[in-house]
Amino acid sequence: MAGHEQHYTLPRPEFDKPVKLLIVVAPYYRDIADNLLAGARAEIEAAGGTHETVEVPGALEIPTAIGIAERMSNFDGYVALGCVIRGETTHYETVCNDSSRGITLLGLQGLCIGNGILTVENRKQAEVRADTNDQNKGGGAAAAALHLIALGRKWGAARRGVGFRPATDEYQVAGTGKDKTSA
């Protein structure tokens, strides 16, 4: 069983400038969500970061809320938290697949997101995974977001344009003191 295996955990990243994360949580199962939140908040605070939390109705709304926040706010990264427990219909697959796909697509656009949406067979599995003293998947999702933010900062800010950079006054012909546009 995976819960009893030893897993390697990357060292917590360190930051020169503070980080600010948005935690988006679907509290459909409130007790599970509260444990996920506790783990995520503790991990962010341990890294010296700050956070805000918003609630959405369900896991399907999490990617949309993150997309809105990215367009309209100033967060360095995001933590997606929720729980989907298998039921008697195929709705489980839809919610699991589409929420994950939405988060993945946002990540491929450059957003730093830790996915802590639990997808489990039963409540007991959810409780173990959300427990801050057991698998602590909320803390793990926050750690993933922090690591992605650290990578983004290491590699620099996003560049505008594709394949070239427009000339600026600082962009000069080597050794001439003239900028490229007048050379």
pLDDT for position 183: 47
98 pLDDT above the threshold of 70: yes
**Locate tokens 């809320």: which residue?**
65
The predicted pLDDT at position 156 comes to: 84
Q: Which DSSP helix (H) or strand (E) runs through 2?
A: none
Which domains does the chain carry? Answer: 18-155 (3.40.50.960)
Catalytic residue among 4, 7, 51, 91: 91
Residue 113's φ and ψ, nearest 5 degrees, are -125, 130
Element (H, E) at 39: helix 30-46
Where do we find the tokens 């988060």?
Answer: 103
Exposure string of 151-182, with b = 16+ CB inside 10 Å and e = fewer, is ebbeeeeeeeeeeeeeeeeeebeeeeeeeeee
Whole-prediction pTM value? 0.84
| Closest by CA position to 54, among listed 102, 21, 101 | 21
Q: What pLDDT, on a 0 to 100 scale, did the predictor assign at position 152?
A: 96
Question: At 87, is the pLDDT very low, low, confident or very high (cuts 50, 70, 90)?
Answer: very high
Q: Which residues pair with 11 in a beta bridge?
A: none
**Is residue 91 among the annotated active site residues?**
yes
The confidence band for 154, taking pLDDT boundaries of 50, 70 and 90, is: very high
pLDDT digits (tens, 9 = 90+) for 100-151: 999 999 999 999 999 999 999 999 999 999 999 999 999 999 999 999 999 9
pLDDT-derived band at 7 (thresholds 50, 70, 90) equals confident
Closest CA to 106 of 148, 162, 138, 50: 148
